[in-house]
Every structure is written in structure tokens, then in C-alpha cells.
Structure 1
């Protein structure tokens, strides 16, 4: 299957099996759209214009502090308070550009061929969602550049662009922010990954653990609850589908005071991969 045919097949699957949505009434599904041949960070200017926002200069630790979220307090709700988080956990999200990322990856044996095929046919070509296949690929760590979008002095989103330090290849390019869940009315972290003619939207529910760590989850659930959604924009209508991709991020301080993140990604009940990050403040 050629790369273009893989793209078209995925979009057709969403159009046939998904539901028609009105983006004006579902702001949590709005977001950037990628080009058919390359995603990378090419979408940022158009997304800034759509939001009526200014694209601030990017920084990767050598400039002003930039965070994926302007303040973790934007996630406060009954049962969650940002002030309950350990200080380094909160600083990571509010001053992300100050942190260096070192990572290790482990794929479930059954998922390795699938991951390799997606990387070879799709992710590397588009510079998007290029999940590393081996920990050796991550031996030099990841660079981390944060570019905020601001409107009327308020941050309305932030591009987080992560590259392999050894090769410079883009691994992830996503827009981070906070949205209100349509069912519960609770705030959640939203990450929108631009794709050709659409995007992948991931909604994550925050949980503060008693030890000061942060848990972000997108398990199974109903429409509009935390989870993963594929959105395809056509000339006449927009179609979206919830997909059985479930994630968990556990951001914690270890016994030696080192900030770490354990990232789990499952396909339905099946484990797909585990990523482990060591985060170092610079």
C-alpha cells in the first residue's frame, strides 16, 4: 500500500464510520489541519490566523520560559487542584522550554511490525507522530521547542515540537491547551496533532495523586469524554470518529528527586508501547 493510498484509506474510514460534526458547536474538536504532503510545524501560521492569535517566538531553553499551559490552575475543578502537585511537576507544564527530555521506548512484540509500517509509510514522510521504534533512536534525547499562541495578552495554545537530537527528525508536532468537556463541563488537557485534511485530537483528564504526581488519562468512554478522536475536514462536511487509542501519562518525582514521565499507549485492551522520559530542568 502506497503512502498516499494509506492516507486516503484512513480518511475514507473516518468518513464512512464516523459522525458528521459542526465545529462551531464542538470547539473541542477544532484545531489545525496539516498539508497533504508534509505536516511538521507548517500549520502554525494558519492556526494562529484562525484563532486571531499572534505566534510568539519559539524557545527551546535559550530564551524566555514557555509552557504548554499558561497555568495549571486552568485545570482546577472539584477533586483537582493544581496547588496539590509537586512544584517540579507544575513547573514542567508551565515552563516546558526549560526542561531537557531523555527517553526510552519499548514496543509490544505484536505491535512492532504495525509501528514500523506506520513510521515508514506515514509518519516519517509527514514529520508527524513518528514514534521511535528503538531506544537507540533516542540515545541522544529529544529537543523540545515551545511556541505559544497569544490573543489579547492571553495564551490560547502552544506548539510543542519535539525532535530527535541525533538526526533532527520531528517526532511530535502538536497544539496544547485546555478545553471544557462537553458532557461533564470539566476542564481537560487537549492535544491536537495536525494530519492531512484533519487532525487527531486527544483529550486527557488530570488527576492529582497524593504523592504530588500528575496522572493524565484518556481511557475508554462515551463521545465527548477523554479519549482520542480522528477528525477529517471535507469541502462540504466534517466527520469525526472516536478511536480505541488509550493513553496514560504519569508525571512524578522519583526517590532521588528526578522528574520522570511514564507514558502508556494501548489499542483497546492491547498494550502497544511504553515510553519513559527523564526530565531535567536547565
Structure 2
């Protein structure tokens, strides 16, 4: 969580303090120190295409080109949320028009390390290259949900006195691509949650928002990601990312 209305990257040191650790910025930082943290009955990092694994373990070495397409039914609501909430607090400001992301996104990864120097989580900060405004600011780690033997990718988007948390189930396809999904299910399973601190207590609710990511290499060997956002079963937003080594 954060203690101010504007999120940006202000939550990083507060998050590090929760681990009794520090924030460390370095080259070749990754969202996960090792994809093998996700190994379990339904996933083996060794089966991933090496470049896909490399993206998650050395995310700072990559740059993002992005395309966005909203469903006509959901676009007006997305525009209102982005304009009156996302841009104001610098968090979850989803791009609404294709030209909003025409110049791509700047990507910054910051490691959150414990007192032993080991990475416990990572902050992934993404800004629109054209305006410098934050689009997403999330804390990434591997988590094991209660009653599960398969670790999940856990993403927390800090807000003032609360957050949005998403637990994504990992899987490897036959061609070595990565799939991450937050399906429908019961409370405590993979999915999306809203957490709020209020009245001296912390309250959590599961929300009917589902996401699916597919990270793969195309026929020319370029890494790409398809991201679909669905409230209930309706498709609201599709995002497509082209992932390029930063040196290019």
C-alpha cells in the first residue's frame, strides 16, 4: 500500500521496509530473480524458450513497443477511469487511444532486496514515452497461495491505503511460450482482488476481472506478448507488446 494520493514510484521504499530491506537499482534487473521460483506441478521454467525466461529474469535489458485496442462498449468507461483516476494518481492509467502508445513505453525495474541481499520482489514502473506519465507501477514476486502446490506470479498495484492484487497461474505451451492467467474461481484462488485499509482493519474482495497473457516468439524470432483484459467473460481491452533488446 501507499500513504499518498499520487503513486508513481513513491511506494518503493515503503515496500522495501516491509521486508526490512532496501531498494536496489541495477542493470539487468528482472521481475523475478529466477523463473524457477515458479516451478511446481503445472510449470517448469526449464521448458520455457530461453529468451522468454531471459526477459523475466533481466527485464531491464528490454524495451517495449505497445498497441492497444478497446472494445467500443468499454472504451468510454476506460477513458473516464484513465482521465479522472489513473492520470491523477499516476497508477493504472490504461491507454485508451492507439496513438497514446504510438511512441512506446519506458520500462524501469527496481529490485526490492531483503537484509540478506537477495531479491524478494521487484517494482516494474512503466511510463508513456510521449508524455512521461505513469501507466502502471506494480510490485512483482512469486507467491504460493494457501492450499496450492503451484506458485503464482503475484502483482500488487499500490494505491493510497489499499491496492489491487492479481495472482496469475503460469503454464508453458508446447512451443515453449509462457501463459499467465487469472481465471474465475473462489476467494483465495488465482484471480484479481481489491484490498482496502479502513476503520482499523484490512478488507479484501475478489473482483470479476480476468487477465490472460501469452509471451511467445513470432516466426522471425521477435518476442511478443498478447494481453487480454476481461470483466466477467466480455473482452474489454487487448494489448499487444513487441519486446526488443534495449541495445536495438
Residue equivalent to 2:240: 276
Cα RMSD, aligned residues only: 1.0
How many residues are treated as equivalent by the alignment? 245
Partner of 2:31: 68
Residue 49 of structure 1 aligns with which residue?
Answer: 17
Distance in 1, matches of 2:37 and 2:235, equals 31
CA contact (8 A) 2:156 2:163 kept: yes
Distance 1:185 1:241 in 2: 23
The CA deviation at 1:270 is 1.1
1:163 to 116, 121, 127: 127
The CA deviation at 1:80 is 1.3
**In 1: Cα distance, 2:92 partner to 2:72 partner:** 20
C-alpha separation in 2, matches of 1:230 and 1:80: 27
- Residue 99 (structure 1) aligns with: 62
Residue of structure 1 equivalent to 2:44:
81
Equivalents in 1 of 2:86, 2:197: separation in Å? 20
Matches within 5 A, 1:123-134: 123-134=86-97
Higher helix share: 1
TM-score w.r.t. the length of structure 1 is 0.85
Q: Which runs of 5+ in 1 are unaligned?
A: 1-32
Shift of 1:34: 2.5
Q: What residue in structure 2 maps to residue 147 of structure 1?
A: 110
What do the CA deviations read for 1:168-200 (whole angstroms, capped 9, x no partner)?
110000000011011213210000000121000
Partner of 2:166: 202
Contact (CA 8 Å) 2:64, 2:106: kept in 1 or not?
yes
8 A Cα contact 2:42 2:170, kept in partner? no
From 193, 197, 208, the equivalent of 1:244 is 208
C-alpha distance in structure 2 between counterparts of 1:249 and 1:148, whole Å: 23
Structure 1 residue 153: Cα displacement:
2.1
How far apart, CA to CA, are the structure 2 residues paired with 1:111 and 1:196?
A: 26
SS state of the match for residue 87, structure 2? helix
Using the size of structure 2 for normalisation, the TM-score is: 0.97
Question: Could you give the per-residue CA deviations for residues 186-240 of structure 1, whole angstroms, max 9, x where no partner exists?
Answer: 2100000001210000000000001010000001011111100000012421110
C-alpha displacement at 1:120, in angstroms?
1.2
Give the SS at the match of 2:143: strand
